[in-house]
């Protein structure tokens, strides 16, 4: 008995799998990182993106919002909390 990939052995004779390559069509082994010609972006769903984990409201060195997870009970990450504590200690001295 010859070995066959599972997708070939389960397809009835005379049928082809959905979205399978046509004979003579080139198949890429990797997924490209760019939009190829002939493709379209999916339309927006209208659902607002909400992160699964709330992120820090502080700003990083490039003035972009920090994306680190928030520390418990605060709106800042551990790094920004330590920076705030350090600045407060320096202001007291």
pLDDT (tens digit per residue) in 1-37: 566 555 555 667 777 766 777 777 777 667 667 777 7
Residues 6+ apart with CB under 8 A from 77: 55, 56, 58, 66, 68, 69, 70, 71
Residue 84: predicted pLDDT:
92
What pTM was computed for the model? Answer: 0.44
Residue 80: predicted pLDDT:
93
Most confident of 27-31, 51-55, 57-61: 57-61
Residue 54: predicted pLDDT:
87
Whether 87 and 74 have beta carbons less than 8 Å apart is answered as no
């Amino acid at each position: 008995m010859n070995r066959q990939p599972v997708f070939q052995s389960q397809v009835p004779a005379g049928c082809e799998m959905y979205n399978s390559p046509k004979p003579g069509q080139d198949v890429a082994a990797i997924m490209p990182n760019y939009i190829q010609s002939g493709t379209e972006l999916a339309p927006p769903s209208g659902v607002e993106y909400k992160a699964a984990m709330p992120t820090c409201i502080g700003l990083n060195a490039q003035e972009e919002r920090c994306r680190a997870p928030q520390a418990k009970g605060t709106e800042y990450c551990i790094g920004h909390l330590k920076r705030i504590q350090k600045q407060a200690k320096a202001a007291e001295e």
